[in-house]
Structure 1
Amino acid sequence: MSTAEILLLALVLDAALGEPDWLWSRLPHPAVLMGKAVSWLEVHLNTGDARRAKGVLAVTLLVCLGLFTGWLLSLFGPLVELLVAAILIAQRSLVEHLRAVADGLSQSLARGRQAVAMIVSRDTDNMTGPQVARSAIESGSENMSDGVVAPAFWFLIAGLPGLLAYKMINTGDSMIGYRTPRYEAFGWATARLDDLVNLIPARLTGVMIALVGGVLGDWPAIAKDAARHRSPNAGWPEAAMARALGLSLAGPRSYDGEMRDFAWVNAPGAKSITGPAILRCCDILWRAWGLGLALLVAFALIF
């Protein structure tokens, strides 16, 4: 069985089953184990002097651990590769989290805030309804790249070792890749490496969203908006989604009690965003997933 065929089946399996509670309530999820590895390195290395150099060592160890674990698991054959890939690709759970925000908003603002707090790191306690919906759509767009397209891309390029190495880097970035006094030096290498490994997947995700959203003709404007985004990669899927939905995304938001004046993506778009817009975002994410599946079938047939 080829790598493309294994990936194809893994994508379908993830879409069908998602993250079964009966399993992960009994066993630690691989993402949790990766997080523990990052935490252990952070506690033992992020001290004293030369923290940037220690951060380079930390991310090197994470990549090596991912490569070795992926290689070891791949020795057990295609079935294990398929199952591990399905676990680490998160299309269904991504959409389920977004739908939970839309459902929460349909009940009350408080429930919407509670649901969106599960998927974003920004302050949610004082969010308005449109801010809750906008945050969910931004998270969904970005995580389509980080949680679906990029893992699939690196699995296709380098098999299970590539997928595990990518997830180690991405997990590390989500935990220590912040410009705070504690992490700015130590997490620098992890954040920069995460930018690098997401360079192609983020732009590919933007193209896929633009294509299924019927706004590929707006690509010059999408690229311009993406360049104004605070992230070198997240701006691409967000800018494409903003155009596809006719919305304005990004913009000012609060972290740790401090309001930050980030640029708007698709500034002329609507800012009064409601729950149904989240559901439209989910529809686009599934269509982009379907496009990816079709491309993968074509790839498998050709190669």
Structure 2
Amino acid sequence: MSTPTLLLFALLLDAVMGEPRWLWSRLPHPAVLMGRAVTALDRTLNHGAGSILAGVLALALLMTGAYLLGTVVKSIALQLGLLGDAVQIILAAILLAHRSLVQHVAAVADGLRVSLGDGRRAVAMIVSRDTTQMDEPATARAAIESAAENLSDGVIAPAFWFLVGGLPALLVYKAVNTADSMIGYRTPKYERFGKAAAVMDDALNLIPARLTCLLIALPAGVLGDLRAIYADASRHRSPNAGWPEAAMARAINVALAGPRAYDGEMQQFAWVGGAGARQIGPAQIDAALSRLWQAWGLMLGLTALLVFVG
């Protein structure tokens, strides 16, 4: 099978199966294994305040290992014919996360319909900010922002890199993204050591983030707002996350980002789509979920087009 064909089946398999608890309660998820590798490199190379060079070495080892593993698996799969194709489809589906994302975001809407406390507990599973003092609009915003950002780096970016370079490229992307989520922070421990991971993650998400923006904006009918989306994205603290968030804000007419607390300290971030509604709740999360599926459907259609053209 061609790479687009493999991706087409992987997208469908992930949408149907998601991440079965019965499986990952018995086996370590590939992302967990990548996390263990990052932890091992952190313990081995990050001494004291760490150094940029040590971080570069850690990232190089991680990326090289991921690429070699992907190359070996792909080589073996090619020798197995249809069985090998099935293996690649399953592995790619495991490393996509659309259904899982939808389920986690939907849990926040369901929680808020029960109580604010339930909503906070659900959103705490998908964001790193402080949730204990969030009101309902802040909880809903956090869920919607996570939906937009994770659509980009958890679904569209892995699919993009799989199309570009097959399983090796997909594993390299996931390894870098995992490293960034663990050590790519501006803290005394990781400011220098995690710099390489953060920069590489930004580079690998440069195109996918903007592609995700278009995939959200096109079915929502807000492509005419691209200039405003660009302006909002440029004010975001992340060079990439602002694009899908700005598109989502326009697509469902809500204001995202804004002030929030990390480690007990309130930080003043700029609003994204500041003219949109700020008093939001479960209904707006539901609207964001619809946009997630529309973007996924458009990605599926584009992949099918590549299969047809190929």
Aligned residue runs from structure 1 range 66-85, under 5 A: 66-74=66-74, 75-76=76-77, 77-85=84-92
- Residue 267 (str. 1) matches residue 239 (str. 2): no
C-alpha displacement at 1:49, in angstroms? 6.8
Is 1:121 aligned with 2:121?
Answer: no
Q: Structure 1: which 5+ runs fail to align? A: none
Q: 1:26 to 1:49 in 2, by over 3 A?
A: closer
Distance 2:45 2:259 in 1: 34
Structure 2 residues not aligned, in runs of 5+: 78-83
Match of 2:41 in 1: 41
| CA distance in 1: counterparts of 2:72 and 2:117, whole angstroms | 46
TM, length-normalised to structure 1: 0.99
Deviation at 1:300, TM superposition (A): 1.2
Decide whether the 8 Å contact of 2:229 with 2:247 is kept in 1. yes
Q: SS where residue 259 of structure 1 aligns?
A: strand
After superposition, the CA RMSD in angstroms is: 0.8
State the AA in 2 paired with 1:8.
Answer: L
1:56-78 residue CA offsets vs partner (Å, 9 max, x unmatched): 00111111111011112112221
Partner AA of 1:159 in structure 2 = G
Deviations 1:162-196 (A, max 9, x none): 00000000000000000011110000000000000
Specify the alignment match of 2:114 in structure 1: 107
Pairwise mapping of residues 145-160 of structure 1 onto structure 2 (< 5 A)? 145-160=152-167
Q: Is the 8 A contact 2:49 2:188 kept in 1?
A: no
- Which residue in the other structure is 2:96 paired with? 89
Q: Distance in 2 between matches of 1:151 and 1:17?
A: 17
- Give the total of aligned pairs: 303
Report SS of the residue matched to 1:239: helix
What is aligned with 2:7?
A: 7
Q: 1:13-52, aligned counterparts within 5 Å?
A: 13-48=13-48, 51-52=51-52
The aligned residue for residue 281 of structure 1 is 288
Question: Secondary structure, in 3 states, of the residue corresponding to 2:261?
Answer: strand
Select which of 129, 147, 162 maps to 1:140: 147
Q: 1:218 aligns with which of 216, 221, 225?
A: 225
**Corresponding letter in the other structure for 2:72:** L
Measured after TM superposition, the shift of residue 289 of structure 1 is 0.3
- Name the amino acid aligned to 2:63: V
3-state SS of paired residue (2:15): helix
Contact 2:232 2:272 in 1 (8 A): yes
